Amino acid sequence: METSHRKRKLPPSSLSDATADEDDDTTAPSSPSTSPSSPSRPSSPSSSHSDDDDDDSLHTFTAARLDGAPPSSSGRPPKPESSTVSAAAAAAAAAAAPKPDSASAAAGDGKEDPKGLFTDNIQTSGAYSAREEGLKREEEAGRLKFLCYSNDGVDEHMIWLVGLKNIFARQLPNMPKEYIVRLVMDRTHKSMMVIRNNIVVGGITYRPYTSQKFGEIAFCAITADEQVKGYGTRLMNHLKQHARDADGLTHFLTYADNNAVGYFVKQGFTKEITLDKERWQGYIKDYDGGILMECRIDQKLPYVDLATMIRRQRQAIDEKIRELSNCHIVYSGIDFQKGKLGGRQISGGIPNHDQPFLLITNMNEHPDAWPFKEPVDSRDVPDYYDIIKDPIDLKTMSKRVESEQYYVTLEMFVADMKRMFSNAKTYNSPDTIYYKCASRLESFFSNKVASQLAQASTKN
């Protein structure tokens, strides 16, 4: 068993946003990174730095070795470890990476092909499931991989680790580069990496304490131009499944600063530590200014296939609702004709569209109609809608007339017109031009209505 070690108080370090995930739908970017300062020197101030500076921190890894060296110069067999994925995703990943350990078989992989089970409707599946399945399709196509490696001496793996180290250095500018290199390249640490088109775009570095069955997350970051795509959540899901199946872990612990707490909470971490203190005290570092958080790894959940599980559950609930409810049934509407209901003529019903159409046309052509042709602009009259609670204007009434659906009786049309005159007289004083226009237009309208009603009664 490992003895107590690495317990030290370290100065806090400020972080930039390391990753951003809009999970489900409506959350702000967070910074999921635990960030210890170097025990050998204080936290360095934030400063700009070049990729050349990043590469200098690993002196023994030269460009010549990257270009054309034998596959391994360490004298030890490689120890590749890939995260657990579904059968289709694993086949795609196997073409570019060594086979994972036998212990990392998927505990929750199903045999059914989820493609035929559900639709791609976000309303049905939810934003989280839709995004997760999109990333899963990229994995199956081989464009996206989630692989876990440590410093095993294999050139390709070392290139990816150096790329991950550079991402951590860029996203965490206050973190000493030497400390980042020490942890990423430490053979007791592992790194779960997001590899898109064979280029590392982010990852999580952690240390598994297999004897204590928990792991400590050291760094977590996604490169700036690949954030808000769901990689952070997908990365954490792969890490949980790999840590459970390959390392036998039951918990994760990490120290998070205020910027990182939001991300970790969304990934199932909590500030309440339920893990026995004897299992972790003395094994992980203490950080000043950090909040210790814990995540329990479920031993049955298929973390890399949660989207399919959630969609199955949603479908089962939807089917049960349909059994117990008739809310999905659409009934035909009431069949009626304008001016008639139940075969009887409505009092004041409009036999055709001529009456309101002629009236609204005459009103728009009247010289006193100019104040009423458009809705009142609140920018010109800020308090208008505080006083007038039921506004109306000729433009709105014209649209209602053209729809041939709104004014089923002439009385409704007349009521709207009278309300327009009443609003003008309520808001404006009698000596204003608006009040006078309203009075003249109202008189004109009353005469027109009386004339049309007289003509209609004569014809009848």
Q: What is the pLDDT of residue 10?
A: 43
- Do 316 and 344 fall within a single domain? no
- Do 209 and 346 fall within a single domain? no
Residue 307 pLDDT > 50 = yes
Question: pLDDT tens across 47-106, in order?
Answer: 333 344 444 433 334 333 344 444 333 333 344 443 333 333 333 333 333 333 433 333
End-to-end CA distance of the chain, in Å? Answer: 106
Question: pLDDT tens across 180-194, in order?
Answer: 999 999 999 999 999
Amino acid at 151: N
Reported as half-sphere exposure (CB side, CA atoms, 13 A), residue 332 has a value of: 3
Mean pLDDT within 278-283: 90
Interatomic CA distance for residues 78 and 426, integer angstroms? 87
Whether residue 335 is contained in a domain is answered as no
Whether residue 325 is contained in a domain is answered as no
Packed helices 87-94 and 127-141: angle between N→C axes, nearest 10 degrees: 40
Interatomic CA distance for residues 213 and 74, integer angstroms? 29
- Do 104 and 16 fall within a single domain? yes
Question: pLDDT tens across 214-223, in order?
Answer: 999 999 999 9
Whether residue 235 is contained in a domain is answered as yes
Interatomic CA distance for residues 352 and 345, integer angstroms? 13
Whether residue 302 is contained in a domain is answered as yes
Measured from the Cβ of residue 160, the count of other Cβ atoms closer than 10 Å reads 21
Question: pLDDT tens across 351-392, in order?
Answer: 455 788 888 999 999 999 999 999 999 888 889 999 999 999
- Do 398 and 363 fall within a single domain? yes
Interatomic CA distance for residues 313 and 311, integer angstroms? 5
Residue 287 pLDDT > 50 = yes
Residues 6+ apart with CB under 8 A from 270: 293, 294, 295
Whether residue 221 is contained in a domain is answered as yes
Whether residue 4 is contained in a domain is answered as no
Whether 413 contacts 338, CB under 8 Å: no
- Do 212 and 99 fall within a single domain? yes
The CB-based long-range contact list for 271-280 (8 Å cut-off, 24+ gap) reads 275/214, 275/251, 279/212, 279/213, 279/214, 280/209, 280/212, 280/214, 280/253
Question: pLDDT tens across 15-46, in order?
Answer: 333 444 444 333 333 333 443 333 333 333 33
**Catalytic site residue from 22, 132, 216, 294:** 216
Which residue, of 269, 286, 320, is where some domain finishes? 320
Residues 6+ apart with CB under 8 A from 78: 72, 98, 152, 153, 154, 157
- Do 258 and 308 fall within a single domain? yes
Domain count, the chain: 2
Whether residue 159 is contained in a domain is answered as yes
- Do 125 and 206 fall within a single domain? yes
Confirm whether 216 is a catalytic residue.
yes
Whether residue 85 is contained in a domain is answered as yes
Mean pLDDT of the chain: 74
- Do 260 and 170 fall within a single domain? yes
Whether 128 contacts 22, CB under 8 Å: no
- Do 260 and 373 fall within a single domain? no
Q: What is the dihedral of CA 444, 438, 401, 364, to 10 degrees?
A: 70
**What domain range is 345 assigned to?**
340-459
CATH code for the domain of 174: 3.40.630.30
CATH code for the domain of 399: 1.20.920.10
